[in-house]
């Protein structure tokens, strides 16, 4: 997300959320790297991969839901403390909030798509290596 802190009035809790998404992305990359490193003899079943994907989606949904609740409470706090009319304040904060949530949702969708593609690639690599190992074992058994 490109913005100038002085020009844009984003709450601090939104900026922290982007850091959390980057940390989560690094964690997912390390999981994928671990799977790639362990492809010799260890295969992740589709059940395990689907479980990882469901956990990732649940974590992202939980984080976005938490951000929504937190933002709503902050909006209401600021409205109560301000001397301006309630409708103008809510509309102002809501317009900023909707854009940030849409961007976070798009980032999450992109990350999920990349994660699914990486998982499929790892699954194909593992299956190919397993097939090679099976073929080698069949050849060895046929020779003996």
Domain boundaries, the chain: 12-143
Most confident region among 9-13, 43-47, 114-118 by mean pLDDT = 114-118
Alpha-carbon distance 106 to 130, whole Å? 36
Residue 2 has phi, psi (to 5 degrees) of -100, 120
In this predicted structure, the answer to whether residue 30 has a pLDDT above a threshold of 60 is yes
Q: Please, are residues 53 and 111 in contact by the beta-carbon 8 Å criterion?
A: no
Asked which of 43-47, 78-82, 115-119, 128-132 is least confident by mean pLDDT, the reply is 43-47
**Quick one: pLDDT at residue 16?**
52
List, for residues 110-132, the tens digit of each pLDDT value: 988 899 899 999 999 999 999 99
């Amino acid at each position: 997300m490109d913005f100038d802190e002085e020009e844009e009035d984003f709450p601090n809790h939104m900026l922290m959320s982007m850091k959390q998404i980057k940390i989560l992305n690094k964690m997912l990359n390390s999981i994928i790297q671990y799977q790639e490193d362990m492809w010799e003899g260890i295969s992740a079943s589709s059940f395990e991969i689907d479980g990882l994907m469901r956990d990732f989606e649940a974590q992202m949904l939980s984080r976005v839901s938490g951000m929504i609740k937190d933002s709503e409470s902050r909006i209401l706090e600021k409205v109560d403390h301000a001397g301006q009319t309630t409708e103008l304040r809510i509309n102002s904060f809501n317009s900023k909030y909707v854009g940030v949530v849409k961007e976070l949702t798009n980032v999450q969708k992109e990350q999920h798509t990349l994660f699914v593609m990486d998982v499929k690639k790892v699954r194909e690599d593992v299956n190919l290596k397993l097939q090679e190992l099976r073929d080698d074992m069949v050849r060895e058994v046929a020779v003996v």
